Structure 1
Amino acid sequence: MRQGSSCSEQVCFDLLNQFEHILESDPLIDEVGFIHPSQFMVLDKEAGSSTSTSFWNQDHKLGISTDILIQLCKDAKHAFLSAFKEYKSHVGVCCSLASKVMKHSQALLLLSSDFGTAWNARKLILSKQDQPLEAFTEELCLSRLVLSNCPKSEPTWSHRRWILKMISRSFSSPQLQEIINKESELVESIGEVYRSVLCFIYNEEIKDELSCMVSPLLVGFLHDNRAGTTRVA
């Protein structure tokens, strides 16, 4: 057992596999949070079922025990960096290596949203070839999931802004308008609860960058949401 750790190295890598399996088996997860072990019994009682003492997954919500958080994050980081190093050393496009990087970076970012190298790795892979719209909408889903737990994560907002710019360059205006509609709901919901300055900045930058393409809709929703995103840090 590592000093200062609540689980052995092998157990934590098993937990990383379990964590990634949960994410793959429930793609509709829309909220992630870190919970104290004492809350597992309460949640199980409310749900009328029993889960593990490491993860709680019900109704597309995922709770991660704070007991395993530090070591799980270390092992997710190790898995990601190893996969990314292998990916960069490979000549040409390798889908299997890219998939490993995307899988491990997803796990890492849900545990540590400000790990910029993981976001940059995802940008690199998504920029390599012409990607279908689905690849970018899935990326929007991931960043939205990260924001459910870390709504003031600047790297996450920045990555989301990059995704929208990529979509605007490659896909038609009607498709972008539908995505912007959903973006309005996200900004409004986060702005109402957290009143984060990042929401305000995000609104302003997206408006400036994309308004020429979907100006009536985009300008409308951004101005409507200003009231919910006041300049509060």
Structure 2
Amino acid sequence: MEQGSCSQEDCFDLLNQFEHVLQSDPLIDEVGFIHPSQFTMLDKEAGSSSDGTSTNLWNQDHKLGISTDILIQLCKVAKHAFLAVFNKYKRHENACSNESLTKNISSESKVMKHSQAVLLLSSDFGTAWNARKLILPKQNQPLEAFTKELHLSRLILSKSEPKWSHRTWIIKMLSRSSSTPQEIVTKESELVESIGERSKMNYRAWYHRCWLVSYMTIEQVLQELNKSKRWAGLHVADSSCFHYRRRLMLRVLEPLKVKGSNANDKFDAHKTLMEELDWNKGLLKRYLGRELSETGESIFTNEETGIFIGNEIHLLESSMTVLDNKFEDFRAQALHASVYMLWLTKHIPEVWSMLEEKLGTEKLKCVLSTVDQERPLLAFAPN
């Protein structure tokens, strides 16, 4: 069959085959578009013949392969079938008779079936996503339906905005009917991390993970801080994970903003922040020239503030020591340290006087000069 051309009957037959595979194997966890020449190789590797009904589709071990030769016609017929049944559904929805209601129950399943096929082939087709949003809340078992929808969304997930928005919508709907299952939140977080491994700097995925924090218990937040530490340490150039850790730490601090928070909460939050600072300092020394995130929060006592500032100034001094001007990492390290120290002077006013005392006038001028060369808008001294 030539790519992009088939009779109407053949095209609908392709769609029926495709939807039959999807229905017969609801545990499919991966879909890929493959060249026809790969079908034989896949069968050989699997040690058996394909479970698909033709050489256009390959289904083994919950993996589905779709021949690139049929993508265009399959996508066209799937969209045509979906739009036809969805328009019919909307007409019945607008009618008020019992007969229309009965017909619509039948149309709902067809809309869901055809929209699934469309989205697996053309995942940015917003009308299909919206149709599913319209029908899902009406299911007899909404919790089961939303859970299955998460599986479908995960199956076709990538950087595309509609798919992440759809997952957000599903979790919101689940939280309305009952408390959000913590297992789902954990799996969502793990999903983003796995996508981060495959697709670097996937900001939309990490944004979704930050959004999930509001649905986490404090115990889950602490677990996430611990689990994400290793990943962040191995991907220091990916700022998204550090933004995520900042969001987690802000969640740890939330109980302290409630009137009457107890001493244990403050102690735990203080311990978490101090551990983060120590870990962050280790990364700065290990990876020269990297600009790592700050927490942006402080719960130190006056005595602790003095110790903290002293330690940070010592770190600044060591970072300002450029061992070799030939290497940009050392110069970058000095710049980031200087910018960070100026940031501290804005949030903790007493830092400036301690800087003058500990560094001396000449070194302080060196700090300002370093920043002024690269980021002139930041190089200013407090009044």
Superposition TM-score, scaled by structure 1 size: 0.86
Gaps of 5+ in 2: 242-383
1:77 is displaced (CA, Å) by: 0.2
Q: In 2, distance between residues paired with 1:68 and 1:155?
A: 25
**Change over 3 Å in CA distance of 1:68–1:129 after alignment to 2:** closer
Summarize deviations over 1:7-26 as a string: whole Å, max 9, x none: 32211110100000000000
Q: In 1, distance between residues paired with 2:189 and 2:43?
A: 34
**Which of 78, 83, 99 is the aligned partner of 2:109?**
99
Aligned: 1:123 with 2:133: yes
Aligned: 1:49 with 2:48: yes
Q: In 2, distance between residues paired with 1:60 and 1:48?
A: 15
CA RMSD of aligned residues (A): 2.4
The one-letter code of the counterpart of 1:197 is Y
Q: In 1, distance between residues paired with 2:118 and 2:217?
A: 36
Q: In 2, distance between residues paired with 1:106 and 1:77?
A: 10
**Change over 3 Å in CA distance of 1:41–1:129 after alignment to 2:** closer
The one-letter code of the counterpart of 1:11 is D
Q: In structure 1, the residue corresponding to 2:32 is in which secondary structure? A: strand
**Which residue does the alignment assign to 2:191?**
186
**Which of 146, 157, 169 is the aligned partner of 2:156?**
146
The one-letter code of the counterpart of 2:195 is I
More RCO (CA 8 Å, sep 6+): 1
Q: Which entry has the higher C-alpha Rg, 1 or 2?
A: 2
CA contact (8 A) 2:185 2:212 kept: no
1:6 is displaced (CA, Å) by: 3.8
Q: What is the aligned-residue identity percentage?
A: 66
CA contact (8 A) 1:79 1:104 kept: yes
CA contact (8 A) 2:139 2:145 kept: no
**Which of 96, 113, 119 is the aligned partner of 2:123?**
113
CA contact (8 A) 2:136 2:142 kept: no
The one-letter code of the counterpart of 2:73 is Q
**Which of 204, 207, 210 is the aligned partner of 1:201?**
207
1:217 is displaced (CA, Å) by: 5.0
**Which of 166, 169, 173 is the aligned partner of 2:176?**
169
Q: In 1, distance between residues paired with 2:33 and 2:41?
A: 15
CA contact (8 A) 1:109 1:118 kept: yes
**Which of 167, 188, 193 is the aligned partner of 1:160?**
167
Aligned residue pair count: 222
